[in-house]
Each structure stands twice: as structure tokens, then as C-alpha cells.
Amino acid sequence: MVSEQNGKVVNVNDATIRRMQRDDAEIISAAFSAIGWNKPISLYQRYLAEQDDGTRIGYVATVAGQFAGYVTLPVAPARAVVKLMSAIGSAYSFLSG
């Protein structure tokens, strides 16, 4: 089942794609740390600050409530729209199986 709420959340079965939120920074950083990647909390805090000032948009995917991935895109007229639509299309295709 697919649903949308306020244009910000998309659910496909147990998967959800939503706007990046403040508490995501620590969760995302910890997930990457667990696989040996150095992606500090400050990186995601910067993405959130840029999202707040309108220069970046960020989305987080969860499956059954657990972090599954993220995408951020700098806001630039046509280029960002094309990248976002491609990312959403890929995520939807993956999640809908």
C-alpha cells in the first residue's frame, strides 16, 4: 500500500520515505560507523542546517522503523528536480519490488 501525507511521507508496505529530521543525524552517523565508514554527525547536522535555509533537501528511508538509507540534494533549479525524481523513482522501484 502506498500513501502520502502532506507531500512529505511515502509508505510502501513497511518502508517509509520522509524528510530528514534533527534526530536522524545521530542515527545515520551510527549506522555508517557500524560498517566502518567515517560519516560524522556534523555532516548530517550541516545537511539539516542547509535544509532549514532552503539550499538542500534531504530524505530518509526506513524499513519497519529502522534506518535504511538517505539522499540529500542541493537545491538548484532544474538539476535538483531531475536528481530528486531519479532518486525517488529508484527508491520506489526498489521498495515496491
Q: What gap in Å lies between CA 88 and CA 27, rounded to an integer?
A: 21
Query: What does the mean pLDDT of the chain come to?
Result: 83
CATH of span 2-96: 3.40.630.30
Residues in the chain: 97
Average pLDDT over residues 11-24: 88
Strand-pair partners of 59? 19, 71
Average pLDDT over residues 46-74: 92
Q: What gap in Å lies between CA 14 and CA 96, rounded to an integer?
A: 10
Using an 8 Å Cβ cutoff, are 26 and 41 in contact? yes
Lookup: cell for 83 = 536528481
